[in-house]
């Protein structure tokens, strides 16, 4: 049975350690309660091939051009294999990161050409954009402390310095300012409960 509400892509962005996962969990539960089919996914990844590309990106050294192309390669597969079919059957897709991350990390923080990124985006996705993008905004110092207490190995992105994450943060905020109707900026330094209540109000407007 197809849902009366059309399928939507919601993406979640922010620097590493922003606390996205907990809030995506809550949002997923809320949408399911509303009777929607929810597809939870992530980038880089989301399909078998894209997950293999993820391992390569996160663990191997490479040029910035190769890295950016690989993010778009993983994304192309993800969109065609998972996201578009899900939206077509009326599902809501929650993706932990999407194209804005490439603008924030590869363009904003690492210096890849913004024009080249726009060309890659246009070629890979056409004018396909998320319905809404939730940006978890917080100071890089706070995020670094959270990453320290989180168990597990760090990947080569998480080992970057505070100044790097400051550039990522500013690039995200800049994109949010340019597209205010798509972005929802959340103060990720608030308590999880406070953030959840802000997002719950947002979701009520989307439904």
Q: What is the 3-state secondary structure (H, E, C) of 20-70?
A: HHHHHHHHHHHHHHCCCCEEEEECCCCCHHHHHHHHHHHHCCCCHHHHHHH
Residue span binding ligand TYD (CB under 6 A) among the ranges 94-102, 169-177, 181-189, 195-203: 94-102
Place of tokens 């399928």: 7
Minimum CB distance to ligand TYD, residue 97 (Å): 4
Residue span binding ligand TYD (CB under 6 A) among the ranges 38-46, 79-87, 124-132, 186-194: 38-46
Residues contacting ligand TYD: total by CB under 6 A: 14
Contact 43, 12 (CB under 8 A): no
Residue span binding ligand TYD (CB under 6 A) among the ranges 26-34, 93-101, 111-119, 123-131: 93-101
What are residue 133's phi and psi, to 5 degrees? -130, 120
Does 41 participate in binding ligand TYD (rule CB under 6 A)? no
Give me the sign of the Cα torsion angle 105, 167, 13, 150: positive
As a whole number of Å, the end-to-end CA separation of the chain is: 18
Q: Which is nearer to ligand TYD, 24 or 203 (CB)?
A: 24
Does 42 participate in binding ligand TYD (rule CB under 6 A)? yes
Does 117 participate in binding ligand TYD (rule CB under 6 A)? no
- Contact map string, positions 182 to 201, toward ligand TYD, x by CB under 6 A: --------------------
Give me the sign of the Cα torsion angle 132, 133, 134, 138: negative
Minimum CB distance to ligand TYD, residue 163 (Å): 15
Minimum CB distance to ligand TYD, residue 89 (Å): 24
Does 97 participate in binding ligand TYD (rule CB under 6 A)? yes
Minimum CB distance to ligand TYD, residue 195 (Å): 17
Q: Which is nearer to ligand TYD, 36 or 103 (CB)?
A: 103
Minimum CB distance to ligand TYD, residue 67 (Å): 8
**3, 171, 194 from 78: Cα distances, Å:** 22, 24, 32
Rounded to the nearest 5 percent, the helix, strand and coil shares of the chain are 55, 15, 30
Contact 44, 105 (CB under 8 A): no
């Amino acid at each position: 049975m197809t849902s009366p509400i059309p399928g939507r892509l919601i993406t979640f962005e922010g620097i590493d350690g922003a606390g996205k996962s907990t809030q995506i969990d809550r949002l997923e539960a809320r949408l399911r309660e509303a009777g929607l089919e929810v597809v939870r996914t992530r980038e880089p990844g989301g399909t078998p091939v894209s997950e293999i590309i993820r391992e390569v990106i996160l663990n191997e050294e490479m040029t910035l051009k190769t890295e950016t192309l690989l993010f778009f390669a993983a994304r192309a597969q993800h969109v065609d294999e998972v996201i578009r079919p899900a939206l077509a059957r009326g599902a809501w897709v929650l993706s932990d990161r999407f194209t804005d991350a490439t603008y924030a990390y590869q363009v904003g923080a690492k210096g890849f050409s913004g024009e080249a990124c726009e060309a890659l985006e246009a070629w890979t996705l056409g004018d396909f954009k998320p319905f809404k993008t939730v940006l978890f905004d917080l100071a890089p110092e706070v995020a670094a402390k959270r990453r320290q207490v989180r168990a597990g190995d760090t990947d080569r992105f998480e080992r970057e310095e505070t100044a790097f994450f400051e550039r990522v943060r500013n690039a995200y905020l800049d994109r949010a300012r340019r597209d205010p109707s798509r972005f929802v900026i959340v103060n990720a330094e608030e308590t999880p409960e406070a953030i959840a209540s802000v997002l719950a109000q947002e979701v009520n407007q989307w439904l």
